[in-house]
Structure 1
Amino acid sequence: MGWYPGATRMELQPESDAQPAIRPTQFIVHSIVAPWTPKRTYEYWRDSTNLESHFGLGYDGSLGQYIGTHTRADATGAANRRPDGTGAVSLESASNLEASDPWTAEQVETLIQLGVWLHQTEGIPLRICRTADDPGFGYHRQFSEWNPDGHSCPGDARVRQFKEVVFPGIVARAAGQIPEEDDMPTAAEVAREVLTLDGIISVPGAPATNPTWTLSSVQTEILKRIDAVAKTEAAQTAAITKLAGLVGSGVDTAAVVAAV
């Protein structure tokens, strides 16, 4: 039970059959601190550790599922399974080796689609968890009960994305405000285009170093550049005013500045 049709099934055994059942009430996202595909994550769970997540997400948005959502997975501390039988659905996502990069646009889209499915099929409520036991959506470091080792998973950039893009996207999609098949570009796609247009705004290396610019990132960049232009203009005006003043007392300084 609890197999997501949008994921490739890569069932872990004996865990899938041997571990106890849960009633899923939370969805908690992680970064695996490795640029792995879902298949490589499956191999790691199978061969190298007794831990595992329900899902593995690649940079390209590909998704693998290793255990059904009604079976315990062991990635999230006390949230794996509680005494009352409730537990969390967990997802590990590909990241760089420092877990400092943002999710790609493709990863964001898959997270939103999966979040909507979990809401619709498992009844996970559309809210960010308020406590460690509260049903809803969350990220690994959010509560110490989920993260007893105290690490930063899924990383600062992804926590911001979770709050500003992923969770609002799940809510909007679940409410029917954004059709699943939509020809409109995403915010990340608009941002990338704006930041790489010749002659408008060029950020050298932006697509490679930050492939998921959000609209707020674009706005911040634009404001920085407008401010720089304003400072340059103010300096030029001051220089022109000073030059006009040196011409002679009979010169209308304001008129000279305005003319220039």
Structure 2
Amino acid sequence: MATPLSADKLLKALRDEGLHVVEHRSWRTNNRNHKGAWGPTHGVMIHHTVTSGTTSSVELCYNGHSTLPGPLCHGVIDKAGTVHLVGNGRTNHAGSGDDDVLQAVITERPLPADNEANTDGNRHFYGFECVNLGDGKDPWPTAQLDAIERASAAVCRAHGWSQRSVIGHLEWQPGKIDPRGFTMDSMRGRIAKRLGGDPSKPAPTAPTSPKESHMPLTKADVEALAKTDGIFKAPKDSTTYATNRHWSLASHIEGLTTNVRLIRRTQLAQVAAIQTLAGLVGKGVDTAAVVAAVERAITDAVITVDVDINSKEG
């Protein structure tokens, strides 16, 4: 049982645990406090978003949707291990759960089975949504699992709780399956080990605020990068080779992107051609027909790759 952390204390606790934290929009005043009490707090609850893509997942958790107003948690943990703070106070993440589970969390003892939904969890739990489809196939990168461990430990450390104060949504509310892809027992084991030592500070080069992580490169930065081992020299076939000693960073990235697309096109076109040839073996078709079929397969593959590359969220 504890008084909820203030926005400043929560932010400090997370960063002191070595996490990269982004403060999303007006997260400090984004809450559902008008719908009920926030606190006393008793634990941390872990979820998966059933979404992909960091930007869209963070916006969804900040705003909510037509049937469930936001915020949907306190922080969103993306696949790179960044924590995006989206709410401060009561949030729509836990719903109604089992009071026996809550009592076990309060007394920090093993959890009973969750077979009832009679207690307001939004009042008592910090919630972290983790970007994952929750289908059992979407991977959990090492950086993301590490961030879940650190974020949970940070809140527990701030309140003086043990790892037994961290639960999954599936351990609270009957019918829930999140988080799916790792076990909460294994995560609690990691948290216990972390709480046995001092917090790990961020590496000196890690960004410590949204402003630092989104600062544009200056002209001097670009020139300094360009001179590093000459890796940004303009290629000999570039129109700027004779007049510009160093290629711009933007041009270098554009060139890399073009090359990657070309490799991807070639790879898929070759696969399509092989599949087409395999389908024509033993059918008695003439050489011209084979060539025409292969050319069509390559054309279709290239078009498909262009559409695929340009339509997917980055």
TM-score when scaled to structure 2? Answer: 0.45
2:23 counterpart of 1:9:
yes
Distance 1:72 1:79, change over 3 A: farther
2:129 counterpart of 1:92:
yes
Distance in 2 (alpha carbons) for counterparts of 1:22 and 1:163: 25
- Count of aligned positions: 163
**Percent of aligned pairs sharing the same letter:** 13
Distance in 2 (alpha carbons) for counterparts of 1:26 and 1:114: 12
Q: 2:182 aligns with which of 158, 175, 200?
A: 158
Could you say which residue in structure 2 is the equivalent of 1:223? Answer: none
- The one-letter code matched in structure 2 to 1:74 is N
Distance in 2 (alpha carbons) for counterparts of 1:62 and 1:83: 28
- The one-letter code matched in structure 2 to 1:153 is D
Could you say which residue in structure 2 is the equivalent of 1:76? Answer: 94
After the TM superposition, which residues 1-260 of structure 1 pair with which residues of structure 2 at under 5 Å, given as runs? 1-2=6-7, 3-5=10-12, 6=15, 7-10=21-24, 11-12=26-27, 15=31, 18=34, 20-37=37-54, 39-45=55-61, 46=63, 48=65, 49-51=68-70, 52-68=72-88, 71-78=89-96, 87-96=124-133, 98-127=135-164, 136-143=165-172, 146-147=173-174, 150-155=175-180, 157-159=181-183, 162-164=184-186, 166-176=187-197, 180=200
Runs of 4+ in 1 over 4 A off after TM superposition: 79-86
Distance in 1 (alpha carbons) for counterparts of 2:78 and 2:96: 26
Which string of whole-angstrom CA distances, capped at 9 and with x for unpartnered residues, describes residues 158-181 of structure 1? 22xx322x22221111111x8726
Which string of whole-angstrom CA distances, capped at 9 and with x for unpartnered residues, describes residues 105-157 of structure 1? 00111112112211121233332xxxxxxxx11111113xx34xx132211x2
Which string of whole-angstrom CA distances, capped at 9 and with x for unpartnered residues, describes residues 16-72 of structure 1? 6645322221111111111231x422321316241411111111111111122xx21
Instruction: Provide the aligned C-alpha RMSD in A.
Output: 3.2
TM-score when scaled to structure 1? Answer: 0.53
Distance in 1 (alpha carbons) for counterparts of 2:53 and 2:47: 13
- The one-letter code matched in structure 2 to 1:175 is G
SS of 1:23's equivalent? coil
8 Å Cα contact 2:90-2:122 kept in structure 1: no
Distance 1:109 1:14, change over 3 A: closer
